[in-house]
Amino acid sequence: MATNLSTKWMPPAQIPREQVIAMSEAVLAKPSLPIKVTEDIFRVDALGMEWDIGVDIYTPEGPITVGADGKKVGVFLLHGGAGDAKSMQRLSLLFAEKFGFKVVVMTYPGRTYLDDPSRDWPGDTINDDGTVRTPIWLKGEYVTPDQYELVKDEGKKMKYGTRTSARAKPGTRFYDRMAAWPIAFEEGMKTACRRHMPEGEFSIYVHGHSTGGPYVSMLTQRVANIAGVLAIENSTFGYINERKHIWGGHVGKIDGFERVAMTGESWKDPFNDLYIRTWRDLARYRGPEALGQEGPQALMRLPWLMEEIFDAWEVSRKRPAFKAEYMVTHNIVGALEQAARVSAKRLNYGPDQTEELVAHYLGFTRELKGPGVKPVPPYLFGLAKDSRDHNPEVYKEVILPMFAAMSPAPKTAVTRFGAGVHTYTKPEKDLPYGIAPAAAQLYHDAIIGGFYLV
């Protein structure tokens, strides 16, 4: 199923709210193509350990859409920091049912709840007995409470409130897993692409929501048939994300409200800290979103807003809701190096092999360089109007200049939607699936129209 659009197609800088609504209505009115949804649990070897990786696959039963380059369109998706493959179901269905793309969604290592076919995690993330929810990296292997200590951090209270982490104890299996999972993540992504969207048949377009963004950015140069990035609310390489985080300065008025850029020191979390998410992680988004959509008067309904947060947490806690990915997403060099050296010591690596592993870990947070290296492919950034983490000014001042400094510099463009929040599938007035349908249409047009051709 192919569509002919001009190869000179370029994305709009802005899509006003009225147009977002019209695009959404048009996409949702399209007939749904028959698709098959399957799950693939496969095992990879990484740094002397086995890891079970889960992916969901959405495959059109009819012909798969062909892009401007003549290849079948495959989409590889990663969820955000709290989620799993089920978190991306709505976007996956839009791409597969409405546009005929094949979609593969991977869950981060340790996040698939292997003990129940529903993949819903039971209970809460922090239990009354002081234990916490922990990853399942291999079916039948569990992290026991004696393998960690709980740590309370109030250093980022302005944004996060009190953060709770499970700190893996040296000498435990948990500690070894926490040091090695980045390599398992890389191997899992490459294997999923190879198994389901092989080179020569597919061109792959990748998207990582929020935390997933730095991982698909890293993947772009490590899989030959990745053709571009569908970068809606998609953070980028860790070193760029780090600069975005510490960038400071007043950014003036946006949407009628005074906004100040996020400032702060570089992250310093140790590699063996597993962050345990709570309702606070919903609250840190709901506040800025309410400000953008309702104005300062949103504070006048704070009890009601908190009820919405607690109700949403009852649903959200079924997803994994723990996180170890900060050392890649925020370029925590010290943690990356320590994790690599811990793994190398466990495997009895010599000095040269150890330094190679350290370099491999540090390379996860930035583009690869040198002769024979695949260039970074095009990025089409999509920004939601009331995003907490992605505002136009930081793209103008930080992100786009850093992409322009790459050699060779990839093609980039930014489209800002006149609606929506960071969780772009979140419903709002006249947009029952948030801005996701309009975003799916934008990326369909980009793929078919030739934006990603280089």
Nearest to 385 by CA among 287, 245, 254: 254
Give me the mean pLDDT over the 132-138 stretch: 98
pLDDT at 328: 96
pLDDT at 259: 41
Asked if 222 and 194 count as a contact pair (C-beta separation under 8 A), the reply is no
pTM: 0.91
Q: Which two tokens stand for residue 233?
A: 């609310």
Confidence of residue 324 (pLDDT cuts 50, 70, 90): very high
Q: Dump pLDDT digits (tens) for 250-276.
A: 333 334 434 434 444 567 889 999 999
Give me the mean pLDDT over the 53-71 stretch: 98
d(CA 394, CA 388): 12
pLDDT at 81: 86
Asked if 433 and 419 count as a contact pair (C-beta separation under 8 A), the reply is no
Return mean pLDDT, the chain.
93
Query: Going by C-beta distance under 8 Å and a sequence separation of 6 or more, which residues neighbour residue 243?
Result: 398, 402
Asked if 400 and 365 count as a contact pair (C-beta separation under 8 A), the reply is no
pLDDT at 155: 84
Q: Rg of the chain's alpha carbons, rounded to an integer?
A: 21
Give me the mean pLDDT over the 194-199 stretch: 98
pLDDT at 285: 86
pLDDT at 248 over 60: no
- Cis omega before residue 408 (within 30°)? yes
Give me the mean pLDDT over the 193-203 stretch: 98
Confidence of residue 289 (pLDDT cuts 50, 70, 90): confident
Long-range Cβ pairs for the range 143-149 (8 Å, 24+): 143/173, 143/174, 146/172, 147/172, 147/173, 147/174, 147/175, 148/172, 148/174, 148/274
Sorted by where each starts, the structural domains of the chain and their CATH numbers stand as 14-449 (3.40.50.1820)
- Between 45 and 263, the more confident residue is 45
Nearest to 275 by CA among 174, 165, 175: 165
Q: Which two tokens stand for residue 22?
A: 């019209």
Chain mean position to CA 328? 12
Confidence of residue 426 (pLDDT cuts 50, 70, 90): very high
- H-helix segments, 17-146: 17-29, 89-93, 99
pLDDT at 223 over 70: yes
Asked if 300 and 277 count as a contact pair (C-beta separation under 8 A), the reply is no
Asked if 322 and 275 count as a contact pair (C-beta separation under 8 A), the reply is yes
- How far CA 180 is from CA of 323, 343, 357, in Å, comes to 15, 6, 11
- How far CA 420 is from CA of 4, 88, 233, 302, 437, in Å, comes to 29, 16, 10, 21, 11
d(CA 368, CA 249): 30
Chain mean position to CA 169? 28
Pairing of strands 250-254, 257-260: antiparallel
User: Amino acid letter at 161?
Assistant: G
Q: Please calculate the CA angle 164-167-169 and round it to the nearest 5 degrees.
A: 160
The alpha carbon torsion through 373, 230, 119, 339 (nearest 10 deg) reads 40
d(CA 148, CA 138): 18
Asked if 113 and 320 count as a contact pair (C-beta separation under 8 A), the reply is yes
User: Amino acid letter at 375?
Assistant: P
Nearest to 257 by CA among 284, 294, 304: 294
pLDDT at 255: 42
Give me the mean pLDDT over the 216-221 stretch: 98
Give me the mean pLDDT over the 74-91 stretch: 96
